[in-house]
């Protein structure tokens, strides 16, 4: 009997934890410095270039040592550009709900709370992600050093 009651209690707590997931993970700052706004604009351009499969612009943006972390693996610049160009992953539309940028020295860390509509292996999928973009400024130019997709537990909002 004790085991049954304990099991019911654990099951109730699990359901409560699952249903208590946050609906918003970051807040967009209402005031950004010009440098933060530059990074936000660069990120917006990146999403457009990825949707358009504009590998020439992305090639300039991605540093040679840039790393890409996806749900299915991680790889470098050459493979990411090849994947985009071939349509292996088509970043069809990124709906950005919140963005924040922290700048530390010559490094900018941008977080995007997004829903991503993508075509992967011919299948259209939509996921909620927290995307971390790391940019490094060298010789006055920002280049991407890392792009990480972390799946969120919140429901997809995109219609």
Strand-pair category, 89-104 with 107-120: antiparallel
Domain that holds residue 110: 24-151
Mean pLDDT of the chain: 87
pLDDT beyond 50 at 13: no
pLDDT beyond 80 at 21: no
Domain membership of residue 131 (yes or no) is: yes
Q: Where residue 159 falls among pLDDT bands split at 50, 70, 90?
A: confident
Quick: pLDDT tens for 108-149.
999 999 999 999 989 999 999 999 999 999 999 999 999 999
- Classify the phi-psi angles of 18: left when phi > 0, otherwise alpha if psi is within -120 to 50, otherwise beta: alpha
How many structural domains comprise the chain?
1
Residue 26: the pLDDT is: 67
What are the structure tokens assigned to 55, written together?
């590998």
What are the structure tokens assigned to 140, written together?
């006055």
Domain membership of residue 31 (yes or no) is: yes
- The residue among 23 and 87 whose pLDDT is bigger is 87
Domain membership of residue 19 (yes or no) is: no
CATH number of the domain enclosing 52 = 3.10.450.50
Domain membership of residue 58 (yes or no) is: yes
Question: Of the ranges 3-7, 8-12, 27-31, 153-157, which is most confident?
Answer: 153-157
Taking a C-beta distance cutoff of 8 angstroms, is the pair 116, 96 a contact? no
Question: Of the ranges 22-36, 42-56, 66-80, which is most confident?
Answer: 42-56
Q: How many helices (H) and strands (E) does the chain have?
A: 4, 6
Element (H, E) at 121: none
Quick: pLDDT tens for 41-69.
999 999 999 999 999 999 999 999 999 99
- Provide φ and ψ at 7, rounded to 5°: -60, -45
Beta-bridge mates of residue 107: 104, 136
Domain membership of residue 9 (yes or no) is: no
Residue 76: the pLDDT is: 97
CB count, 10 Å around CB of 142?
18
User: What's 148's DSSP letter?
Assistant: E
């Amino acid at each position: 009997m004790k085991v049954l009651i304990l099991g019911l209690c654990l099951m109730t707590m699990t359901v409560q934890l699952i249903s208590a997931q946050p609906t918003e993970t970051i807040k967009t700052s209402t005031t950004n410095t010009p440098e933060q706004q530059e990074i936000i604009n660069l990120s917006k351009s990146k999403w457009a270039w990825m949707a358009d499969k504009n590998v020439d612009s992305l090639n300039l943006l991605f540093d040679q040592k840039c790393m890409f972390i996806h749900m299915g693996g991680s790889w470098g610049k050459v493979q990411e550009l090849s994947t985009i160009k071939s349509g292996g992953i088509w970043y069809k539309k990124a709906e950005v709900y919140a963005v924040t940028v922290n700048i530390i020295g010559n490094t900018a860390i941008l977080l995007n709370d997004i829903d991503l509509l993508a075509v992967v292996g011919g299948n259209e999928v939509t996921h909620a992600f927290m995307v971390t973009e790391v940019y490094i400024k060298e010789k006055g130019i920002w280049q991407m050093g890392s792009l990480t997709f972390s799946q969120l537990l919140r429901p997809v909002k995109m219609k």
